[in-house]
A and B are shown apart, each in its own frame.
Chain A
Amino acid sequence: MSAQEELFHAFLIKYAEIGIKGKNRYLFEDALIRQIRFALRGAEGDFSVRKEMGRIYVEAKSGFDYDEVVERLSRVFGISGICPMMQFECKDFEDIRARVLEYARKVYPEGNYSFKVQTKRADKKFPMDSNEINAALGEALLEAYPTTRVNVYGPDVFFYVEVRERVNLYSKIIPGPGGMPVGTSGKAMLLLSGGIDSPVAGYMTAKRGVKVDAVYFHAPPYTSERAKQKVVDLAALVSRYGGPMELHVINFTDIQLYIYDQCPHEELTIIMRRYMMRIAEAIAEETGALALVTGESIGQVASQTLPSLACTGEVCHMPVIRPVIGFDKQEIVDIALKINTFETSIQPFEDCCTIFVAKHPVIKPNRKVIRRSEEKLAEKIDEMVKKAIETREVLSVSP
Chain B
Amino acid sequence: METMEVYLDNSATTRVFESVRDIVVKTMTEDFGNPSSLHKKGVEAERYVKEAAAEVAGTLKADSSEIIFTSGGTESNNMAIIGAFRANRRRGDHIVTSTIEHPSVYNVFDYLEKEGAQAEYIPVDKNGRIDQEALLAAVNEKTVLVSVMYVNNEIGSVNPIGEIGAAIKKKNPTALFHVDAIQAYGKYRINPKKEQIDLLSVSGHKIHGPKGIGFLYVKKGTKLAPVIFGGGQQKGMRSGTHNVPGIAGMGEAAKEIYRGHEEKRKAMYRLKALFVELVGKLPGTRINGLEGEDSAPHIISVSFEGIRSEVLLHALEEKGVYVSSGSACSSNHPAVSGTLKGIGVKRELLDSTLRFSLSVFTTEEEIRYSVKVLGELLPALCRYTRK
Footprint of B on A, CB under 8 Å?
220-225, 257, 260, 265, 348, 350, 352, 354-359
Contacts and interface: CB of A to CB of B under 8 A. Distances in A.
A332 B351 CA distance: 32
A360 to B, nearest CB: 10
A357 B311 contact: no
Contacts of A265: 387
Given A221-B311, A221-B315, A224-B310, A348 B384 contact: no
Given A221-B313, A355-B386, A359-B387, 18 more contacts: A220-B315, A221-B311, A221-B312, A221-B317, A222-B311, A223-B314, A224-B314, A225-B317, A265-B387, A350-B310, A352-B314, A355-B308, A355-B311, A355-B384, A355-B385, A356-B384, A357-B386, A358-B387
Contacts of B384: 257, 260, 355-356
Contacts of B318: 220-221
B114 interface: no
Nearest to A257: B384
Contacts of B310: 224, 350, 352
A260 B316 CA distance: 21
Q: Is the contact region of chain A dominated by helix, strand, or loop, or is it mixed?
A: loop
A224 B310 CA distance: 8
Nearest to A357: B386
Interface of B: 308, 310-318, 332-334, 384-387
A110 B152 CA distance: 65
A198 to B, nearest CB: 22
A334 to B, nearest CB: 25
B387 to A, nearest CB: 4
Contacts of A257: 384
Contacts of B314: 220-225, 352
A301 to B, nearest CB: 16
A348 B333 CA distance: 8
B148 to A, nearest CB: 31
A393 B128 CA distance: 46
Contacts of A352: 308, 310-311, 314
Nearest to A358: B387
Nearest to B317: A221
B12 to A, nearest CB: 15
Nearest to A351: B310
Contacts of B311: 221-222, 352, 355
Contacts of A224: 310, 314
29 contacts: A220-B315, A220-B318, A221-B311, A221-B313, A221-B314, A221-B315, A221-B317, A221-B318, A222-B314, A224-B310, A224-B314, A225-B317, A257-B384, A260-B384, A348-B332, A348-B334, A350-B310, A352-B310, A352-B314, A354-B386, A355-B308, A355-B311, A355-B384, A355-B385, A356-B384, A356-B386, A358-B387, A359-B386, A359-B387
Contacts of B308: 352, 355
A257 B381 CA distance: 10
Contacts of A357: 386
A231 to B, nearest CB: 16
A7 to B, nearest CB: 41
A224 B316 CA distance: 12
A358 B317 CA distance: 26
Contacts of B385: 355
A225 B312 CA distance: 14
A354 B308 CA distance: 11
A348 B384 CA distance: 23
Nearest to B331: A350
A354 B332 CA distance: 18
Nearest to A260: B384
Instruction: List the 8 shortest-distance A-B pairs measured between CB atoms, nearest first.
Output: A221-B314, A221-B315, A265-B387, A352-B311, A355-B386, A221-B311, A224-B314, A352-B310
A223 B315 CA distance: 10
A308 B82 CA distance: 57
Nearest to B313: A221
A348 B331 CA distance: 11
A357 B387 CA distance: 8
A69 B208 CA distance: 47
Nearest to A222: B311
Contacts of B313: 221
Nearest to B312: A221
A257 B383 CA distance: 10
Nearest to B325: A350
Contact of B334 (A220, A350, A355): A350
Nearest to B380: A257
B299 to A, nearest CB: 23
